[in-house]
Amino acid sequence: VWYTGGSDLRVDDHEGLRLASQREGSSGVLCAFVLDEKAHLAAAPTTSILALHSALTSLERQLKQRYNATLLFASGEAADLLPGLARAASVQACYIVSEDPCATMRQMQCKTADALAGAGIEVQRWSQALRPTAPWEAGAASAPTESHLIK
């Protein structure tokens, strides 16, 4: 599971973590966070950086307690680092949150997903939407129509 640092730094209601932990033939879950200067630190106020640190510390503790999983930390560009890490750990699939609303995060996620797929790692995207099957969510059959609107 690649934690991107957007709104996915959690254990509860994390569909990617749930799917990874239930993957058939899996011997465990490997979780990683890559601190990318452009995505996480550029123009970030001190309070945001402190909040990120606090969230990662809490996440690391919860992963250990609930899944006996380790959160690996790295610094650099995820697209450069994760494919090698995944190959070294014999990872078959990487679970990544669906596209983030923030353009910088979205670009990082897409670039890394492409790099992982190019390295032969299966990429599974998961939705953090409250109603992932709603017609207006990405990947749903259609956009909202007048019948979906509250009158």
* Residue range 86-113: mean pLDDT, rounded: 89
Of 112 and 6, the structure prediction assigns the larger pLDDT to: 112
The proportion of the chain whose per-residue pLDDT surpasses 70, expressed as a percent, equals 84
The position carrying tokens 């599974």 is 124
Q: Does the pLDDT of residue 142 top 50, yes or no?
A: no
Q: How far is CA 11 from CA 40, 43, 44, 59, 62, in A?
A: 20, 27, 24, 7, 7
The end-to-end CA distance of the chain, in Å, is 41
| Reported pTM | 0.81
Window from 38-47, 65-74, 92-101, 123-132 with minimum mean pLDDT: 123-132
Confidence (pLDDT) at 11: 93
**Contact, 94 vs 126, CB < 8 A?**
no
Q: Does the pLDDT of residue 141 top 90, yes or no?
A: no
Q: Does the pLDDT of residue 130 top 50, yes or no?
A: yes
* Residue range 69-87: mean pLDDT, rounded: 96
Q: Does the pLDDT of residue 98 top 90, yes or no?
A: no
Confidence (pLDDT) at 139: 55
Confidence (pLDDT) at 143: 44
Q: Does the pLDDT of residue 56 top 90, yes or no?
A: yes
Residues 100-122 pLDDT 10s: 778 888 899 999 999 999 999 99
Of 1 and 145, the structure prediction assigns the larger pLDDT to: 1
Give all domains of the chain, ordered by start, each with its CATH number: 2-148 (3.40.50.620)
The Cα 116–Cα 86 span in angstroms is 8
